[in-house]
Each structure stands twice: as structure tokens, then as C-alpha cells.
Structure 1
Amino acid sequence: MVRKPVVSTISSGGYLQGSVRGRLPSLGGKEPPGPEKVVLKKKITLLRGISIIIGTIIGAGIFISPKGVLKNTGSVGMSLVIWTVCGVLSLFGALSYAELGTSIKKSGGHYIYILEVFGPLPAFVRVWVELLIIRPAATAVISLAFGHYILEPFFIHCAIPELAIKLITAVGITIVMVLNSMSVSWSARIQIFLTFCKLTAILIIIVPGVMQLIKGQTQHFKDAFSGRDASVMGLPLAFYYGMYAYAGWFYLNFVTEEVHNPEKTIPLAICISMAIVTIGYVLTNVAYFTTISAEELMLSDAVAVTFSERLLGNFSLAVPVFVALSCFGSMNGGVFAVSRLFYVASREGHLPEILSMIHVRKHTPLPAVIVLHPLTMIMLFCGDLYSLLNFLSFARWLFIGLAVAGLIYLRYKRPDMHRPFKVPLFIPALFSFTCLFMVALSLYSDPFSTGIGFIITLTGVPAYYFFIIWDKKPKWFRRASGRGWWWRMLQLKWFLWSKWPPVPYGSFLPEWQRSESPVSSIIENRCDDITRTCSGSPSWLSPKEPWPCTVCCR
């Protein structure tokens, strides 16, 4: 399934060098000169970076059911305070990641920061749970919301069949996967458009709400901090709901290697995005309370629909469409970012080798995108999605907190490391404490589910020693997890998706192998000038087959 880790080609002196010699890894080193190779292109500009962050943070929750915070605070005023505080704390986490992203210029987000600071075992556990459970389940959940709201205008007076929701959800997932497989530029452009749709939907709610305030509709803000007293557990749970609503600010760090001028783009994109999202969330909740009382909001299944029916009349029919587009944007941004996590984990030797391959013409990590498709489909049709996410919700904050704690660790161990962007130390310290609080809250409020989540997470430890450390694996296992089997599965899926002939194996080369030797040294060229094909084959490829000669003779 996997191979032993190799030193990354992106920065000199990876974690293995440091761990062998007992020293901290050499971070941010320059790549030594070598032969030309195919890499992911730097196509993420400032606008595209902003769209990735905003597009993945804003999902369906702010439009449908922002009542988790209100339910646990007991008052309108305190709920608005929680929304604001959670936005500020999320900004602190995002700023900490901005420093990490500009100091360690490698894609992968939490995974690569934990890997570089704490070593391979905790990093492998992180990517193990993310690949097998968290990401497929999370993608399936947001996709189900997309399927539900895209069909709602067609089932106004009756319930939507569950099978229809799952089928249209499967179509949406497939479209997202194909889009991210075909072009980085088109994925980014569509993400910009979907982000624009989300912000338009929020403005459609905020502007009438502000008009209501101008007209004096402030009855629901009288005695804003009075109401049902929040319990001892109420405020922490409200805080938990609020932090979850802001999750997604870290996704730009998953694609650092594709960001144009990351030293400036990442901090600026993070600051602009978090300011827009925080202001938008707070003003959207204010707008709701200009028309809907706290009691009515608690009873509403779709707050934005209730709000628009009262103020916008027939235009309320457009709300489900905007919600569906919002969900689609979250799907697209999540797949775009997380596929880079799998690509980097494969490059570091923690996932099958094929996931580190890049299409030579499209410059997309095609296998890392496609691997999500069957896993998400299994979760969609067979898995208990919400239970899995409840079991593992603490894991996100555990590993994010660990990554931010690594920033503090590097401040003391590597004070001379180049840091183009640097935050005051109290910011990562406060955010690390916040993450620790979130994990402790999960243990206190739901010890059973969190305990199961810990057990699932800890399965990554024996998996690490079996797949990564153990050399003497059975021959049948090595054959089953070999390059050829994975490649044939990839060819089959690509053929079924696009109805094109299977893409030749020569179109992909693993990052680590491209960096070791020029293409001409591993491909024996036998070009046919008439058919424009080459019957040569990489020395390690079996069986041999022709492919377009632009691959080996480009």
C-alpha cells in the first residue's frame, strides 16, 4: 500500500534527516538545481486564495440553522457576542497558520507542519484518519445538503425521496471530482464564481435586515442579554458550535506550493477572508433578529427561508438554489485542498506512491483527487455519516492545536529561521489553549463518542508500523499494493468518467522519481513520426504499451 518515506524534494533536510541525526529538521531550504520536472503550477492568486478560504468556510449552516449558538447561550445578545469572539479566535488560528505557511513553504496544512516539527508518526495518524473517514464523511455530508436543496424547488408540496437526494448527490460529487481532475484554473475560477454567489446570498439577507433596523424594527433586541439563563455547559457548547461554523480558514495552507508569492498572498488572503466572514456572519444573525424572534428562530428548519418569505415574497424560492451553490462551493474547495494533502503525504511516503503523481499536461494531482471518489461514495450509500463525524470531531481541533503548538516550539528551537510573516506569541498560545479546550469539551460533553473517536484515531499507530516501518511484508501484499494494480484501477475510473481511452501511464510520473533523474533516463524512446506514438516504456513499467510521444519527447 505504501512505501517507506523518502526525503521530500521541496525543501532540503526533511524530517528524516533530522530524526536520524537527532536534530530538528531543516525547514525552508532551497531546492537543489536539477533536471526539469513536472510540478504543480503556481496558479493561486490573491483573489483565488480568498475564494478558497471563504468558499470552504461558508456552507449551508449560516443559511439554514444557525441556532446551535442561540440555543446554548439563551439570549440574542450573548449569541452575537459568541459569533464575534469565535470569529476573532479563528482569525488568531488563521494568522498562526499564515506564519507556518510562509515559513514552511510546502503544501499539506496540518499534516506537513506536524511532520516537520514532531516527526512521521503523529503526521501519519493525521492523514490516516483524514483519508479513511473524516474527509469522505465530511464531503458526503455537505454533498447531501447540496442534493437536498438543489431538489427542493421541484418538491415544494411533498417530501423529497431519499434515493433521489443520494443520486443527485452522487452526480454532484462526480462533477466536483472531474472538475478538479481536469484543470486547476477552472476549479479556481468556478470557486471564485461560487464565492461570489455566497456573498450575494448573504447580502440579500443583510441589506433587508439593515433596512429593517433603519425603520426601527428593533423589538427583538430589547433586553438582548435577558432570557433563558445559559447552563454551565451551555456557553462552552455555544462556543463549540461557533468555532465549527468558522472551520475552513486553514485550507489555503493545503495548497501552499501552488500559491503565487505565498509570503504576501497567504497572510493577506487570510486577513481579508476572515474579516469578510466574521462581519458577514454577525450581520446575517443581526438581520435574522430584525424579523424573526429568538423563539421563532429556534423552531425554524431553514432560517433563511423563513426570513425571505417574510421580507422577499416569491424570491424566497431562490434561497434553496443559493444554499445548494454554497454547498457546491464547499465541496469544490474541500476537494481541491485535501487532494493536495494526500499528494504531499504520498510524496513523503505515507500513502501509496501513485497519489504523488501529476498529470504531465493538466498539472493536476489526478490520482489524489480520484481516490476520494470511491471512498466518498461508500460513505454516501453505506456509512453512518453523522456518527462518524461526531466520533472524530475532536480530532480536527487536536491536530490543529498540535500544529499551532509546533509554531511555538519552533520559535524557541529555531529562533533564526526565516519568517516572512510573524505573529505575536500570545496569538498561537491563546489559540492552542482554545483547541485544547475544544478537545476537553468533547471529552466532557460526550465521553462515549469521543472515546470511540480516540480508538479509531489510534488505529493509525499499528497501521504506521505495518505499512511504513515493517519491511518484510508478504509477497501477495506487495503485489496487491504495487504500482500496476493501482494504475489499472485509475485507468478504469478515468475511462468510465470521461469515456476517453485510458490515459497512458507515461503521462504521470511520481514527484520523487521525476526529481531523481530526467525523463530521458527512465524512458526508452522509440518514436514513430507518422503515428506520433512511442513504443518505449519506463524501465519499471509492465506491461509496455504505446502512449503519445509528446510525453517522452516533449
Structure 2
Amino acid sequence: MQRPKLKNEEGDGTEKEAVYLRREIGLLPAVSFIIGMVVGSGIFIAPTGILMNSGSVGLSLLVWALSGVLSLFGALCYAELGTTFSKSGSDYIYVLETLGPLPAFLRLWAEYILIRPAVASYVSLAFGRYVVEPFFAPCAAPVVLIKLASILGVTFVVAINCWSVTLASRAQVTLTFIKTFALLLIIIPGIIALAKGKTENFQNGFEVDLITLDKLPLAFYNGLYAYGGWFYLNFVTEEVINPNRNIPLAIICSMVTVTFLYVLVNVAYYTVLTPAELLLSDAVAVTFANRALQGLSSVIPILVALSCLGALNGGFIGSPRMLFVGAREGHWPAIFSMIHIRRHTPLPALFLLYPLVVLMLITGEIYQLINFASFADWFFITLATLGMLIHRYRFPLQPRPFKVPLLIGVSFTAVCFFIVGLSLYSDPWNTGRSFALTLTGVPVYYLTVHRYRLPRRWRRFFDYCCKQLQILLEVIQQEVQTC
């Protein structure tokens, strides 16, 4: 299919390319996109939490493997959803198609005011910390300097995504190779030490006295956090080349690869570090490097920072597409459905997210932000996979290019319900605030979407603002694609 052409506005008979989001993401960028989103700061933070809550080396490794399998189950559910509903927007569009407009609007509302700003903030804070702290070791780095570096990292990523989809996807591929190299830099010395017979930390790996079954769910919570990000390719479905083939293939390849790497990384950790040393470490990768890679220990913080930058870039590739699709469906202000006339990027969605991210970054703290965002994220993942099961029951004959086994869908949905309930129990303050903020979207929906009841003066003011932003940003509505 050739790219559509439109007559030039001047009427001189020349043709110009239509303005719409191109299918420019092939299989390799798709795999890199998922790996780049999954491998962020989690693998360098979560090992301590998993060991603490599992109680033994052997059980912690089992948690890592099972967390990877559960994440693969969720990714396969999203592969079915992404090939059944071919629009971009990930779980927003899936909830809209299966459960209706109100929960779909709440997904958009939570994404804009809560999930994306919080996720981008804690990833960028991790980036800033690893960039700044090596210059001040062994003393603590100034918080202001960490946040300044974090803001610079966010600004750089937003600029790349405003400039070009191709440039952003190429940056994602490059950063994914860098973070894979960082994992291999940990795995190889660990495997060499293991081959030399350094196995004392694995002896009695399943000591019954150390296992704490009541805390085991929290270990899985940490593991699933480390694997988070597997659903972001579905944000850009309309920009994936041959999505019916490449979405399932990219999901399977990337999740199997990540699970394999994560288990090997933890085997390397336990080969070099004792469980007690791992529990006392705030930055496991740095502690490992100081022990096993003395000549390269200064390189690890840089690689971890680049790993965080890759996760941040992937988030800004995906999240604005959800707002773009929501605006196109009439659930969000029209300005969000516009793209730049030359760059073909969703510029308004990127620009309007940026100040919220910076504001939350300045005022927030990394671990609070993680808990704050996780509840809403997992709540809507639960709704999406539940909607998939309901849709199968209601429309059994609808074509599904990729169909996940029913047992996988049911199992993953049940696990999601458990995670959501557990998060409310374990951290009621942050998750309660997250839930309350999500529900504030209900009156907004009934005022602005269900029935447009805003006063006429407000409507004129919003229309004027949208027109001025459209002129300033040089954006227009996506044009219809024709063969």
C-alpha cells in the first residue's frame, strides 16, 4: 500500500503526504521496546525485596522464574487483545471495547494525572541518582542535584519523542542493547565463579526454617514490579508493522529473553554475594561490581542510568498514544488527537504530560511514587484481562488472529485481583490515594463526556485555548488513510 497523498492547499496540482502516524516499528524495534520497558531499575532494586520476603535463596530464584512466567501470561493476554482490537491505546481501548466508556475514561484520567507522571518520575529519579551519586561517593549526593539531573533526563527523552518516531525507536534499540550488555556484565563473572565451584550460597537453598509464607505474596509483588512494562507495545499498535505477526512474536521473544536474563543475573548475585550482603545492599548491582568487577565498578552506575533512560524513553513512546487515541474517541480534549504537520508525532500529548512529570518529580519520593502508581496500573490491567474473558464469552465467533489458552487468561486475571487486593492491604495510604484520585474522574466523565454540561463560557474558553495551542504547536487532526 502506497502512502496516501493529498492535494496541496494552494491548488497548484502538487501532492503532499497525508499527516498520520506511520507504521514504522518493525519486529526488532518492537522487541527492543518491550525489553527496554521491562529492564529498567527493577532488576537492580527488587532482588533485596524478593529475598527478604521469600526467606531463602532457592525460593527467591523460584519467585523470579514464576514472576517471569506470570508476566508472560499477561503479555500473551495483551497479544490477543492487541490483535483482536487493532487500535493503539493498550488497555484503554480494550476496556472501552469490552467494559464500556466510563471505566475506559477512568483509565485515561488515571494515566494523565497519576500513572504516567508517577512512573516517569520514579524512573527519572533512579536515573538522576545513578548519574550523580558516583561523583559524591561515599557521601550522599545532594537531593537537589539528583532532581536536576532527573529533569534533564526527562527533557532529553521528551525532545527525542517530539522530533521523530523513528529516532525514538532507534534510541530504544540502542539503549536496549546497552542494558542487555549491563546484564551480561553481571552474568558472565557470576557464571565463571559458579563454574569454579563457588556454590556455598546455594547449599540448603530451600531451608524450611527461613521460609516466610505469609510474606511470600510480597516477594511476588516485587518480582512482578521488576517485570513491569510488558504491555507497552500495545500502546503503539497502529505504528507496528504487520501487528498480527509482530505483536505476539515480539512479546514471546522479549519476555522469554528477559526471564532467562533475570534468573541468570540473580544466580550471579548469589554466587558472589552472601544473602546477608545482598539484604544489606541498597544497590545490588553496584555492590556486586565492587566485589566481582573491581576494574569496571565505575561503569555499572552509568549502565544502570542508561537502563533507566531506556525505560523512560519507552514510556514516552507509549503513553501519549493512549491519550491520542482517547481524544480521537471523544473521551479527551481534541488537542490530544493532533499530530505535528511535519514530524508526525503526537506533540500535544507529549508537551502536556511534561509539566506534570516535572511537578511530581520535584515533590515526590521514589518508593512512594512506585506504590502510588502500581495500584492504578494493576487495577486497569485486571479490568483489561477480565474484559478479554467477558468479550470471548459474549462474542465467541469474532476473529482473533492470536488466541491465548483460556487457562492462562483466567489464571492471570485471578493473580491480578490478588495483587490489587494485596496492595490495598500492604500500603493503604498510597494505594488509597491512588484509588481516590482515579475515582475523581467519575464526575469529570459525566460533566464532559457522557453529557457535555459545562457552562457556555467555559466551552468557549476551552475552544479558544485549543485553537491557540494548535497554532503554537503546528498540529492538525490525523488525516484519513486511503490506499
Q: Is the 8 A contact 2:340 2:347 kept in 1?
A: yes
- Correspondent of 1:238 among 209, 214, 219: 219
User: SS in structure 2 opposite 1:223?
Assistant: coil
Q: Give the residue type in structure 2 aligned to 1:371.
A: L
Matched, 1:139 2:120: yes
Q: Where does residue 214 of structure 1 map in the other structure?
A: 195
- Distance in 2 (CA, whole Å) between partners of 1:157 and 1:231 is 34
Q: How does 1:405-554 map to 2 (within 5 A)?
A: 405-482=386-463, 484-489=464-469, 503=473, 505=474, 508-511=475-478, 514-515=479-480
42-51 or 238-247: which moved more? 238-247
Q: CA–CA distance in 1 between the matches of 2:45 and 2:451?
A: 49
Could you tell me which of 258, 273, 277 is aligned with 1:277?
258
Equivalent residue number for residue 150 of structure 2: 169
Taking the aligned partners of 2:370 and 2:193, their CA distance within structure 1 comes to 38
Matched, 1:265 2:246: yes
Q: Distance in 2 between matches of 1:112 and 1:97?
A: 11
Quick check: 2:187–2:268 contact (8 Å CA) kept in 1? Answer: yes
Contact in 1 for aligned 2:32/2:172 (Cα 8 Å): yes
Give ranges in structure 2 of 5+ residues lacking alignment: 1-15
Q: Which moved more, 1:226-235 or 1:342-351?
A: 226-235
User: Cα 1:99–1:215, aligned 2, differ >3 Å: closer, same or farther?
Assistant: same
* 2:304 counterpart letter in structure 1: V
Structure scoring higher RCO (CA < 8 A, sep ≥ 6) equals: 2
Q: Distance in 2 between matches of 1:318 and 1:57?
A: 21
Residue of structure 2 aligned with 1:191, choices 168, 172, 185 = 172
Q: Quick one: structure 1 residues 516 and 427, their matched pair in 2 at CA, closer, same or farther if it must change by over 3 Å?
A: closer
3-state SS of 1:55 partner: helix
Q: Give distance in 2, aligned partners of 1:95 and 1:118.
A: 20
The question of whether the paired residues in 2 share the 8 Å contact of 1:379 and 1:385 is answered with no
Q: Which amino acid aligns with 1:261?
A: N
Deviation per residue, 1:198-239 (Å, 9 max, x gap): 100000000111101110000000000116533343111111
User: What are the within-5 Å matches in structure 2 for residues 49-68 of structure 1?
Assistant: 49-68=30-49
Q: Does 1:344 align with 2:325?
A: yes
Structure 1 contact 65–302 (Cα < 8 Å) conserved: no
Change (3 A) 1:65 1:439: closer
Select 2:295's aligned residue among 307, 314, 319. 314
Q: Look at both structures and tell me which one has the larger radius of gyration over its CA atoms.
A: 1
TM-score normalised to structure 1 length: 0.81
Structure 1 gaps of 5+ residues are 1-34, 492-501, 518-554
Helix, strand or coil: the match of 2:141?
coil
Q: After TM superposition, give the deviation of residue 446 of structure 1 in Å.
A: 3.2
2:233 pairs with 1:252 = yes
Deviation at 1:36, TM superposition (A): 8.0
| Alignment-mate amino acid for residue 428 of structure 1 | G
Q: Is the 1:133–1:388 contact (alpha carbons within 8 Å) kept by the matching residues of 2?
A: no
In proportion to residue count, which structure has more helix? 2
Partner residue of 1:333 out of 314, 319, 324: 314
Whole-angstrom CA distance in 2 between matches of 1:264 and 1:516: 22
Q: Using the TM superposition, give the Cα deviation of residue 392 of structure 1 relative to its aligned residue in structure 2, in angstroms.
A: 4.4
Partner of 1:121: 102
What is the SS of the residue equivalent to 1:466? helix
Residue by residue, what CA displacement relative to the aligned partner does 1:256-314 show, whole Å, maximum 9, x if unpaired? Answer: 00000001000000000001110111100000000101011000121111111111112
Matched position secondary structure for 1:371 = helix
Coordinate RMSD, CA, aligned: 1.9
User: Residues of 1 paired with 2:476 and 2:294: CA distance?
Assistant: 56
Cα pair 1:65 1:303 within 8 Å, conserved:
no
User: 3-state DSSP class of the match of 1:249?
Assistant: coil
What does the per-residue CA deviation read over 1:62-88, in whole Å, with 9 as the maximum and x for residues that have no partner?
124521110001000000001111100
What is the TM-score when the length of structure 2 is the normalising length?
0.93
Q: 2:431 & 2:170 partners in 1: Cα distance? A: 39
Moved over 4 A (4+): 383-386
Q: Is the 8 A contact 2:335 2:470 kept in 1?
A: no
Structure 1 position 399 matched with structure 2 position 380: yes
Residue in 1 that maps onto 2:334: 353
Determine what percentage of the aligned residue pairs are the same residue: 52
Deviation sequence 1:403-437 (CA, Å, 0-9, x none): 11222122222122111111211111110011011
In 1, Cα distance between the equivalents of 2:72 and 2:142? 40
How many Å separate the matches in 1 of 2:330 and 2:108? 12
Q: Does the residue aligned with 1:358 lie in a helix, a strand or coil?
A: strand
Match of 1:91 among 57, 68, 72: 72
CA distance, structure 1, for counterparts of residue 228 and residue 89 of structure 2: 16
* Structure-2 separation of matches of 1:144 and 1:472: 40
SS of equivalent residue, structure 2 residue 437: helix
Cα distance in 2 for partners of 1:490, 1:510 equals 10
SS in structure 2 of the partner of residue 468 of structure 1 = helix
The residue identity in structure 1 corresponding to 2:154 is I
2:38 touches 2:228 (CA, 8 Å); kept in 1?
A: yes
SS at match of 2:94: helix
Residues 134 and 389, structure 1, Cα contact 8 Å, conserved in 2: no
SS across alignment from 2:197:
coil
Equivalent-residue separation in structure 2 for 1:449 and 1:169 (angstroms): 23
Separation (CA, whole Å) in 1 of partners of 2:200 and 2:387: 48
Structure 1 position 103, deviation (Å): 1.1
Question: How many residues are treated as equivalent by the alignment?
Answer: 467
Aligned AA (1:173): V
Aligned-partner Cα distance in 2 for 1:81–1:516: 49
Q: Aligned AA for 1:84?
A: A
SS in 1 for 2:435: helix
**Where does residue 226 of structure 1 map in the other structure?**
207
323-332 vs 65-74, greater mean Cα deviation: 65-74
Query: Per the alignment, in what secondary structure is the counterpart of residue 481 of structure 1?
Result: helix
